[in-house]
């Protein structure tokens, strides 16, 4: 029976993952740590012990991992742009990796991202795990994810801890609204007075228009990511990196249609110019970096996860998008 320590159990991936650990018969105890208040009993979790702590505090991390058979590191600043987020992502991750290895954890499960590959011209049509990680400097989250994988390799050198690294595409679903929150027009809309938002929502003629450069993207449901992480926790398959993406591809037009908005074809050059312009808006300096992801396709092959982990995603991209939007409307 396994004891599993989890950083970031209250996040968009964390909550579905811990719920899956609750159901796993091989897991006896889960110890979660994050900065915010959280009550596991309110979610019906009985295996979970929750502690408030910061991954920048090595003493807190050391106490978290000391009895763990497996350590899962999910804590990460997603909207990353300043020195504070870099400190959390790089120094905090190093703390987790080094202390997990020092404590003798059998396995370390880390959630990286497709963004670690970087948004570069000339990328393969389908990314496999063998493609080098280059990150993208002007996209801090991408740059941090690539750097942290290098930190992981360095921290575990010479240890007996096996590392499973997951690189999901955009994670979405009812408990993962970040996809919508990173759409710049939605970010601006949340700052509008309530009556104006209400009026715009009921006036189809003036609903927003999203430019669509025709760049396809993938989605993966948070429950499917949780299933892959659980497989790694119990030691299924070989250690190493795994791409995660649900079946099917979408474009910005699909997103606009699901939102009830309009879309228009847009040359990729224009999208690049828009990214430069929006990056200078005072309302959303960090979120704007995500427009970079709309400029070039970044599609992944997930054959390794299927073959080695036996991973079969249960949700396609379109269904995942529909669930995400429906949950956001309900909230």
Q: Among 251, 242, 258, 248, which residue's Cα sits nearest to residue 306?
A: 242
Q: Among 160, 254, 156, 167, which residue's Cα sits nearest to residue 210?
A: 254
Same domain, residue pair 44 and 185: no
Same domain, residue pair 57 and 117: yes
Residue 327 lies in a domain: no
Same domain, residue pair 273 and 309: no
Q: Is the dihedral of CA 120, 121, 126, 131 positive or negative?
A: negative
Same domain, residue pair 117 and 135: yes
Residue 62 CA to residue 126 CA, distance in Å, equals: 39
Residue 189 lies in a domain: yes
Residue 122 CA to residue 317 CA, distance in Å, equals: 25
Question: What domain count does the chain have?
Answer: 2
Same domain, residue pair 106 and 158: yes
Q: Is the dihedral of CA 158, 77, 181, 134 positive or negative?
A: negative
Amino acid 78: pLDDT: 78
In the block, residue with structure tokens 């509008």: 192
Residue 89 CA to residue 8 CA, distance in Å, equals: 12
Same domain, residue pair 81 and 135: yes
Return per-residue pLDDT of the chain as tens, 331 residues: 999 999 999 999 999 999 999 999 999 999 999 999 999 999 999 999 999 999 999 999 999 999 999 999 999 987 655 678 899 999 999 999 999 999 999 999 999 999 999 988 888 999 999 999 999 887 888 999 999 999 999 999 999 999 999 999 999 999 998 878 766 545 444 444 554 454 455 555 556 777 788 889 999 999 999 999 999 999 999 999 999 999 999 998 998 899 888 888 876 555 555 555 444 444 334 444 555 566 677 899 999 999 999 999 999 999 999 999 999 888 7
Residue 1 tokens read as 């029976």
Same domain, residue pair 9 and 143: yes
Amino acid 282: pLDDT: 43
CB 305 within 8 A of CB 242: yes
Same domain, residue pair 120 and 136: yes
Residue 328 lies in a domain: no
Concatenated DSSP letters of 187-209: HHHTTS-HHHHHHHHT-GGGS-E
CATH number for the domain that contains residue 95: 3.40.50.720
Residue 134 CA to residue 156 CA, distance in Å, equals: 21
The values of phi and psi at residue 180, to 5°, are: -75, -35
Residue 125 lies in a domain: yes
Residue 48 lies in a domain: yes
Amino acid 151: pLDDT: 97
Same domain, residue pair 278 and 202: yes
Residue 259 lies in a domain: yes
Residue 245 CA to residue 295 CA, distance in Å, equals: 19
**Domain that includes residue 307, residue range:** 2-172+219-245+298-313
Amino acid 140: pLDDT: 86
Amino acid 180: pLDDT: 81
Same domain, residue pair 209 and 151: no
Contacts of 330 (CB under 8 A, 6+ apart): none
Same domain, residue pair 130 and 199: no
CB 109 within 8 A of CB 164: yes
pTM: 0.89
Same domain, residue pair 137 and 260: no
Residue 263 lies in a domain: yes
Residue 331 lies in a domain: no
């Amino acid at each position: 029976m396994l004891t599993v320590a989890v950083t970031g159990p209250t996040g968009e991936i964390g909550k579905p993952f811990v719920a899956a650990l609750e159901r796993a018969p091989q897991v006896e105890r889960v110890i979660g740590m994050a900065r915010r208040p959280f009550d596991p009993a309110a979610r019906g979790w009985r295996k979970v012990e929750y502690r408030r702590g910061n991954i920048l505090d090595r003493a807190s991390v050391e106490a978290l991992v000391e009895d763990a058979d497996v350590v899962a590191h999910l804590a990460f600043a997603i909207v990353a742009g300043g020195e504070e987020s870099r400190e959390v992502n790089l120094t905090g991750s190093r703390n987790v990796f080094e202390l997990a290895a020092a404590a003798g954890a059998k396995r370390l499960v880390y959630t990286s991202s497709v963004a670690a590959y970087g948004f570069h011209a000339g990328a393969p049509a389908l990314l496999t795990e063998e493609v080098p990680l280059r990150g993208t400097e002007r996209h801090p989250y991408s740059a941090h994810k690539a750097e942290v994988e290098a930190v992981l390799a360095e921290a575990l050198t010479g240890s007996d801890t096996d590392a499973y690294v997951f690189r999901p595409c955009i994670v979405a679903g009812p408990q993962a609204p970040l996809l919508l929150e990173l759409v710049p027009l939605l970010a601006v809309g949340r700052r509008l007075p309530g009556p104006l938002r209400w009026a715009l929502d009921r006036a189809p003629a003036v609903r927003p228009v999203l430019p669509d450069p025709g760049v396809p993207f993938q989605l993966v449901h948070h429950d499917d990511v949780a299933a892959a992480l659980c497989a790694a926790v119990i030691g299924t398959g070989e250690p190493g990196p795994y791409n995660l993406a649900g079946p099917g591809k979408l474009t910005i037009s699909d997103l606009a249609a699901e939102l009830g908005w309009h879309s228009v074809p847009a040359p990729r050059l224009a999208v690049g110019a828009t990214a430069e312009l929006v990056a200078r808006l005072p309302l959303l300096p960090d979120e704007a970096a995500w427009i970079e992801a709309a400029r070039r396709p970044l599609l992944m092959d997930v054959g390794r996860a299927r073959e080695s982990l036996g991973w079969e995603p249960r949700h396609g991209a379109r269904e995942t998008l529909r669930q995400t939007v429906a949950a956001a409307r309900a909230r």
